[in-house]
Amino acid sequence: MFLEIFWDGFHGSPVTVWPRARESSKWVGLGLRPILSGIDPSIPVRVLTHSRGASVNCGALWNLPLREGPESNALYRERQVKIPLPGQLSVRIGLLAPAMPEEDFDTYAPGASCPIERVIVGVNPDDAVLGKKPLPAEWLGSTTLGCDPQAFFSRVSPRVGNSGFLVDLSLSEVHDFQDYLMRIPVEQIFLPLLLDRPPGAALTPGGLTECTVEEPVATRGGASP
């Protein structure tokens, strides 16, 4: 069964819609919790997100801070604690070029959050949208998790350990979802990790995942290479 989640990321100038999209994404994540909680625990759940959709997904699975100002933060937190986290689901999440800060993983705790079997993060240092050049990616709402491999190793890997995988999606400036889906590392590494183990892949802790492309592009959790 496939369930596609539509949420209002807004349209128009990025300068005006991006702050609204940042806040909206986490509120939508709260709305997704009852849906996930209604899934039979025996059914595997595989979640694929792109760009800011990562915050929708993560906001559903654990308690993220809103980071949008004191009044908004307090209102969000008040609502957040009233909506239970999903239960013991078999969840894997695949975050393609996530437009979110790595700090949002600081509040993920396997004992307190919905347990996640695998976290696959597709990182593209060349993504023009996430990189925000000539501005730093940290400005105007950080998007560093999707464009800086060190963000994965510094904040995500310590939280998820060997359940985390970084997939290198560099060498293209295009941010479009359909374009990402057509790339060889997504087809041969990212999606197989999300849906099942890649044929012949060696998923060794701290090592590289073998694949049929010329360069190894997936690194399992652990220290930065």
Q: How many residues does the chain have?
A: 225
**DSSP states of 26-38:** HHHHHHHHHHHHT
Which has the higher per-residue pLDDT, 99 or 209? Answer: 99
What stretch of H or E contains 14? helix 14-37
- Residue 149 pLDDT class (50, 70, 90 cuts): very high
**Res 166 pLDDT > 50:** yes
| Per-residue confidence (pLDDT) for residue 215, from 0 to 100 | 40
pLDDT digit string (tens) for 16-38? 888 899 999 999 999 999 999 99
By three-state DSSP, how is residue 133 classified? Answer: coil
pLDDT digit string (tens) for 183-205? 999 999 999 999 986 444 444 33
Domain ranges of the chain: 14-220
| Per-residue confidence (pLDDT) for residue 197, from 0 to 100 | 60
Residues 105, 205, 193, 116: is their CA dihedral positive or negative? negative
